[in-house]
């Protein structure tokens, strides 16, 4: 999660692409951390109240809504639901716009510029770019729904978020290597990303999906052994998967 603020596409989109005035960064560099610290202040009391006042079977993801309902305050629960839905909707919108912009600018645009017949009217070129962005947004939302159907039935929201953060963390070595390691090249980056994503999928996504579909981990080589903590370390399978994928 620490690397998410550095590697997530939506963070780059908000701080760089949508930033019209560079002077705004002078204000944002202390307002944004202060905002995060202020929001985090409410997490601890809500978590403690949920553990003490709610049944053990209650998911921590729903503490914000379940606590007001348990004490007969439906209006407060409705307010929390509206705030959560607004935040989630904004996050999805920004993420989809950022990813669709990356697909059109970093994948489609270079392909069009490499073509021989690049002399086309601007309106036709603009139509291509906008169409690709719209189709990309639809495909991203469909893939997100498929992921929810595979993981959401058994995994909590926090677990899905941790798996997503572990995936985006695979970009961290390439980003820092490009900044500080002059001998780095794209072949090494692609190889490292391919190995990391494969290990991430095998050690983190596959166990959750297998649990939701009723599959046994013993059907997959080494997976059951890895989840039995073979190294006897005080870490969770999630942390172990992140370490292995980063090592790959």
The CA distance from 65 to 62, in Å, is 6
Q: For the chain, what percentages of helix, strand and coil (3-state, to nearest 5) are there?
A: 80, 0, 20
User: Which of 201, 194, 237, 239 is closest to 220 using CA atoms?
Assistant: 201
pTM across the whole model: 0.77
**Structure tokens belonging to residue 78:** 């409705």
Q: DSSP letters along 24-65, please?
A: HHHHHHHHHHHHHHHHHHTHHHHHHHHHHHS-TTS-GGGHHH
Domain boundaries, the chain: 156-247
DSSP structure class, residue 197: H
Per-residue pLDDT of the chain (248 residues; tens, 9 = 90+): 677 777 888 888 887 777 788 788 888 888 888 988 888 888 889 999 998 988 888 888 888 999 999 888 999 999 999 998 998 898 899 889 989 988 888 888 888 777 655 556 666 677 888 888 999 999 999 998 888 887 766 677 778 888 888 888 888 888 888 888 878 788 888 888 899 999 999 888 888 888 777 777 777 887 777 777 767 777 787 888 888 888 76
């Amino acid at each position: 999660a620490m690397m998410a603020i550095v590697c997530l596409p939506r963070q780059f989109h908000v701080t760089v692409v949508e930033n019209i005035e560079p002077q705004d960064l002078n204000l944002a560099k202390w307002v944004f951390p202060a905002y995060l610290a202020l929001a985090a202040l409410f997490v601890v009391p809500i978590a403690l109240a949920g553990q003490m006042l709610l049944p053990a079977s209650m998911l921590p993801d729903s503490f914000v809504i379940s606590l007001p309902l348990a004490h007969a305050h439906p209006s407060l629960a409705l307010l929390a639901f509206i705030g959560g839905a607004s935040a989630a909707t904004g996050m999805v919108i920004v993420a989809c716009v950022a990813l669709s912009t990356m697909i059109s600018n970093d994948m489609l645009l270079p392909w069009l510029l490499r073509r021989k017949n690049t002399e086309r009217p601007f309106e036709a070129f603009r139509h291509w770019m906008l169409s690709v962005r719209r189709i990309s947004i639809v495909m991203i939302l469909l893939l997100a729904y498929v992921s929810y159907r595979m993981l959401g039935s058994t995994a909590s929201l926090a677990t899905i978020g941790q798996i997503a953060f572990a995936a985006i963390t695979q970009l961290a070595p390439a980003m820092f290597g490009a900044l500080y390691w002059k001998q780095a090249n794209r072949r090494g980056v692609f190889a490292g990303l391919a190995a990391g994503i494969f290990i991430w999928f095998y050690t983190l996504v596959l166990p959750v999906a297998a649990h939701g579909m009723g599959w046994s981990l013993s059907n997959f080589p080494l997976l059951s052994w890895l989840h039995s903590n073979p190294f006897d370390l005080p870490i969770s399978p999630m942390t172990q998967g992140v370490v292995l994928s980063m090592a790959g």
